[in-house]
Amino acid sequence: MVGTSPTIARHKTAMRRREPSKPIRLAVEHGLIAHGGTVFDYGCGYGADVRHLCDTGVAASGWDPVHMPTTPLTHADVVNLGFVVNVIESAPERAETLRRAWSLAERLLVVSARLVHERRLLAGRECEDGLLTARGTFQKFYEQQELRTWIEATLDTEAVAAAPGIFLVFRSLADREAYVATRFRRSVAMPRLYRSERLFREHEEFLQPLIVFMRDRGRPPAEGELINQRAVCETFGSVRRAVSVLQRVFGPAQWDDVARGRREDLLVYLALKRFGGRQRASELPATIRNDVKFHCGTYKRACEAADRLLYSAGDHDGIDAVMKTSAVGKLTPAALYVHTDYKDDLAPVLRAYEGCARVLVGEVPGANIIKLSRGKFQVSYLSYPDFDSDPHPALDHSVVVKLQALDVRYRFFDDSPNPPVLHRKETFLAQGDARYQRFRRLTEQEQRWGLLDETTDIGTRNGWNEHLRTRGVRLSGHRLVRNRTSPA
């Protein structure tokens, strides 16, 4: 970051923030930054991220050519290059900055930049391959796939999309595969206790690491995988005997369900690895190799099953048939909609279909409804910030991923006077969800009062409010009440 043009005020792009930036927040949430590790913020501005990490006990430091120029450039486990490359007007210097940051990363480089849809927020004129803003700063705006391609071409290694505009570059192939695998592993609750067992009761706390491992992997641990393996063997004679105790106590059916789910997770992960190129079995982390051996027998068989799953995700008719029988989500003539809390409860082929979009765009912050289109390969991530509290929440923004074109499009409704609104919210959830009955009662009341009979005009906020007004009713939370001026 040297040789700044006098017409470009790069220093003005630094932001004073009280909260951590999106890339740092994401890295912490995903367990990529943790206590005991080190972080270096390359181009840290005023150092807000560094201070935040230090306050939480993480060893962090940062350098900035204007605001912290005397800090030495330091190697660290994680290096953050947060919204730096997009403020550099020189393309060669941009690439050199990326390579320099990568040279400091011992384990992981986090790269973020502004995306094309953010161009609407700034006034300015064209300059080089970006925008010269009214403040005299430069901004380069990327398409999601353009940013990935540039990072990979510059560093000659694969980048993983973590979120729109945020990519992860791992030094170790094993670390990268371990991270990608976790993104397609569903959350599973602890198995319920099936019947009393004296030996289990005596050693319940002691057995927790084994229970957690079997819940997370869907299999018994291999040699060296259990953190307290030696102590378990001393108590039970072997890990196998301890596993037998758990199977008797919780019942084999629950473990079979967990194993089935983890096998599906594994196949979805391997199916989606076709896009970046699958590694040889020997290059995978030992834990994933053990998963493959237990759940599929061999890596070849696992890859063959994953390929069949991926091919099925590209079959319009097959996908549509699965959507029609989906146990979760709201089916319409155009799409299957499901709340993000239940995306992992979809059939494996639908998870692979949605996963194709996530490989391209990463996790979409704020999205809580996923739209899986029927008849065209397109996945949309919809953000309804007030989904839980508003009986008919308005759409704030959407991210549309067109899979065949590798295209990502953004649409914003936050400043729209008449945004789309949701109805029948319970249909997006599983019936066991704590919100389900409350949402369902409102829908049933609206049906009894005839408010959902005509769907032409109720899909937008103004249309819905006018519909309520003409019927002489209003909403009080998730309940309909008649207006005082309307007849009883």
pLDDT in tens, 425-445: 999 999 999 999 999 999 999
Residue 13 is predicted with a pLDDT of: 67
Asked if 392 and 432 count as a contact pair (C-beta separation under 8 A), the reply is: no
The better pLDDT of the pair 5, 138 is held by 138
CA distances from 410 to 181, 278, 289, 305 (A): 27, 30, 38, 34
pTM: 0.85
Residue 415 is predicted with a pLDDT of: 87
Mean pLDDT of 16-31: 89
For the ranges 119-123, 292-296, 483-487, the one whose mean pLDDT is highest: 292-296
Asked if 118 and 142 count as a contact pair (C-beta separation under 8 A), the reply is: no
Helix axes 22-29, 48-55, angle to 10 degrees: 30
DSSP per position, 150-203: HHHHHHTS--EEEETTEEEEESSHHHHHHHHHHHT----PPPPP-S--HHHHHT
Does the domain made of 10-171 have the CATH classification 3.40.50.150?
yes
The residue behind tokens 């590798």 is: 406
- Which one-letter amino acid corresponds to residue 196? S
At 149, phi and psi to the nearest 5?
-60, -40
- Which one-letter amino acid corresponds to residue 308? R
Domain ranges of the chain: 10-171, 184-313, 316-412, 434-482
Mean pLDDT of 57-63: 95
pLDDT tier at 3, thresholds 50, 70, 90 = very low
Mean pLDDT of 117-133: 84
332: tokens are: 């319409």
CA distances from 308 to 27, 29, 132, 297 (A): 33, 33, 49, 17
- Range with lowest mean pLDDT among 69-73, 89-93, 195-199, 337-341: 195-199
